[in-house]
Structure 1
Amino acid sequence: MRPPLPLRRAALSLALLAVLFQAMPAAAEELAITVGLRTSVQSQVLGEERPLLVSLPGSYASSPTTRYPVLYVLDGESHFLHVSSMVEFLSRRGRLPEMIVVAVPNTKDRDRDLTPPFSKTERADNGQLLIDVAPTAGGADTFLRFFNEELIPTVDARYRTRPFRVLMGHSFGGLFAMHTLVNRPESFNAYVAISPSIHWNSAELVRKAPEAFSRLTAPGRILYLDEDATETPNINRLRTLTQAMKKRKLPSLTWHYDEVADEDHGTLPHIGAYAGLKFVFSGWKPAEKVRFSNDLAPLEAHYAALSRRLGYPMPPPEDMLTNVGYWHLREKQLPQALAVFERTVALYPDSANAHDSLGDALEAAGRLQEALTHCERAVALGREHQDAHVPDYQKHADAVRARLAAQPAP
């Protein structure tokens, strides 16, 4: 009996690393490790071509009917690698769904794109008029138009997305996220604002945000805020803001604020991204008693509740069901295993691994002809989707076929 696909992939990766390290002293083929792709979108709003860095989920090719939430990351040139790796790690551990990560690098003018409009009398920290220090700043509303009118529609057209979007930004990026939530909250479902520069324009957001948040309507929005515990005076402004939020009823905003010790402005994005994503998808991983119940009802109910909270339909993930099904198989609970794998095929009919796993359960139940049907379907789907595990699926199908041939004639 073979382990579920995530474990098979992990074993393959470890074996590959072992081979690579053993071969280090001698000349060896060097293979690139791909973590994403670089693309672009032509923007009429901004009058320029904007580069994009995109990371697709590991199951994207092998599960061609599955759709995914999208995480948009500002300052993409700085945060694409660590955030996309974090998403992959946390999703593999069942703490959040697999997601498409779209990182938006800066081009000509970061100040222009990420900062909201400001008063002509506003002064910088050195006392100079801000209009003299940063003459092109204040274009956040135009940049937000780029997101809503061009970038988001382009991503939705190119990739299989779900109607759930997260915006993540740090410093000026966090300021842009807060500005968006206050002024165009429908743009994203969740916001992760890491050390947001809310001093901008005489801390205008500290005054405006609580009232704006009280006017939010369903579906609710999610906000995660954090700051380095030594970052004064910004931390005092955030305390003023969050204290005002606590005093108001905010029925359509789920929010949390952290003050993080032993970090600084430069290292906070990694910690903030990790904590922020876990908060946005808090409760994603079902409790063990829910995952390994004798029937699927508690697991289905868990994801139904999550779907209601997040505002988009989310069935139990394929990897979750696969792991549960194989657990039942190991425990010799064949009826439960069959029920789980049949549900997996019903939810993910174009997944080669789902059919191969159902083939395992049917084979264990002695239903060899049905097992062969699903094993052959796995091979066909795997070839269609260029799945690296086609040899495994073929080996399984051949083994079931041999068992069928060895049966005595009726």
Structure 2
Amino acid sequence: MKITKLLILICTIALNTVFAQEKAENDPDKPVVTLGEISSLQSKVLNKTIPLSIHLPENYDSSRKTYPVLYMLGSDYRARFAMLASTLDYMGEGQIPEMILIGIDLPEGNSILLPTRKNQDTKIPDNYINFFETELIPHVDNNYRTAPFKVLFGGSNSGFFTVYTLLNKPHLFNAYFASSPSLMHIPTMLQQKIKTGPLKKLAENRSLHIIYSDDEGLTDIVSEFTRVIEDHKPESFTYKVDELVNQGHVPAVDFTMFLLALYSDFNPLENLDTLDKVVQHFDMLSKRYGYEILPPISVLMDLGFDMIISKNLVVAEEIYQYSLEVYPEGKLLYVGMGIVRRNQGQLESAKVMFEKALTIDPDFSLAKRWLKRVEK
């Protein structure tokens, strides 16, 4: 519990930089750090304006790639949004694909996504599903370079909505993450949907991952839900549950666990020791997830540098040539090729590579240091 509180505290302290509040001294119009931007969407389905929080991968503007989209419910909880955005950036360097994060603010509280208490009316959560399908997802697809792979993430009451969406519209998202979901609401209706609803006839691959803590009082509820799922799920559906110990409601480590499970073999470093193996592996992942997944720059850079260390400069050159064809904006890869040229004794060519990296990023310190070495 102390670790969880510390993580939340750290993220809360950093919130003054999350949405570009501070300005740099040398440029009053430039934010120091940005983890997201505020937007909104006028919804006819919900008859109100929905605030959105959006975080794009670091190299989104300079790349030509498409990106899977992760939709987060309750992004008005800014500490949580900061954690998710930072985690995607950190893990996107080689552990998972880079992703677009779309946060749906719920200023009325995430209980808005539950059925009504009196008569268990599901009109509001049904309307939110309709909003996702007919308004929000098309809006995001029209305004960003999105890949055809979508994930829905919710915690507590929004975790209930994540499960509810799966049972009503399993095709809407490819993967569903539910942290400490409030499955005590309409349990009979949920079980009936598992047994006879659209999930029963699902042919495409879909997945649900539930994470909760043993100190929440959810063990029996989740266990019963799991029993029904296991008895009635189609073969195309995968289901995973993790019960943590003494981690509290909506555990802070849930998001990292979700991503590592979804992309469990994204980067098996011990096996990717040649360029052919790297290309074949990510071709396989592309077929599995249904969109092109390119080898991360970090994987290609490390492989090339291993060849440099082993003095196999011909292979290193081939790796970086391929890499720069895939990532012509990859400043780190130009440094790698520059080191190859330097070790080949081609100092002028090495200089050109380092200068190219600095053209992409004039403040790239690694390229500056290597450029000084070849200029001596």
> What TM bracket, shorter-length normalisation?
0.7 to 0.9
* Alignment counterpart, residue 130 of structure 2, candidates 145, 152, 162: 145
* Alignment counterpart, residue 265 of structure 2, candidates 277, 283, 286: 283
Paired amino acid for 2:91:
L
* Counterpart position of 1:101: 101
**CA distance 1:160–1:354, change in 2 (3 Å):** farther
Alpha-carbon distance in 1 for matches of 2:134, 2:182: 25
* Alignment counterpart, residue 246 of structure 1, candidates 219, 227, 230: 230
Q: Tell me if the contact between 1:229 and 1:261 (Cα under 8 Å) persists in the aligned partners.
A: yes
Paired positions, count: 346
* Counterpart position of 2:145: 160
Q: Which blocks of at least 5 consecutive residues in structure 1 are unaligned?
A: 1-27, 119-123, 404-410
| Identical pairs, percent | 29
* Counterpart position of 1:342: 321
Paired amino acid for 2:75:
G
Paired amino acid for 1:71:
L
Shift in Å at residue 229 of structure 1? 1.7
* Counterpart position of 2:201: 215
TM-score of the aligned structures, taking structure 1 as reference length: 0.75
How does 1:3-402 map onto structure 2 within 5 Å? Answer: 32-61=32-61, 63-78=62-77, 79-92=80-93, 94-108=94-108, 110-112=110-112, 114-116=113-115, 124=117, 129-130=118-119, 138-212=123-197, 213-218=199-204, 220-232=205-217, 234-248=218-232, 250-265=234-249, 268-288=250-270, 290-291=271-272, 293=273, 295-368=274-347, 370-371=349-350, 374-380=353-359, 382=360, 387-389=361-363, 393=367
Per-residue CA distance 1:23-52 (angstroms, 9 max, x = gap): xxxxx9998433222222222222222211
Shift in Å at residue 188 of structure 1? 1.1
Paired amino acid for 1:351:
G
Larger RCO: Structure 1 or Structure 2 (Cα < 8 Å, ≥ 6 residues apart)?
Answer: 1
**CA distance 1:398–1:264, change in 2 (3 Å):** closer
Shift in Å at residue 239 of structure 1? 0.9
TM-score of the aligned structures, taking structure 2 as reference length: 0.81
My pick for the range that moved more, 279-288 or 52-61, is 52-61
Q: Which blocks of at least 5 consecutive residues in structure 2 are unaligned?
A: 1-24
Alpha-carbon distance in 2 for matches of 1:80, 1:298: 36
Alpha-carbon distance in 2 for matches of 1:207, 1:55: 37
Shift in Å at residue 390 of structure 1? 5.5
**CA distance 1:364–1:172, change in 2 (3 Å):** same
* Superposed CA RMSD: 2.9
**CA distance 1:203–1:264, change in 2 (3 Å):** farther
Alpha-carbon distance in 2 for matches of 1:80, 1:159: 19
Q: What's the secondary structure of 2:305's corresponding residue? A: helix
Paired amino acid for 1:217:
A
**CA distance 1:85–1:392, change in 2 (3 Å):** closer
Alpha-carbon distance in 2 for matches of 1:391, 1:228: 44
Paired amino acid for 1:344:
S
**CA distance 1:303–1:210, change in 2 (3 Å):** farther
Per-residue CA distance 1:114-167 (angstroms, 9 max, x = gap): 235x6xxxxx5xxxx347xxx8x6411211222222222222233332221111
Alpha-carbon distance in 2 for matches of 1:151, 1:109: 19
Alpha-carbon distance in 1 for matches of 2:244, 2:190: 21
Paired amino acid for 2:265:
G
Paired amino acid for 2:47:
G
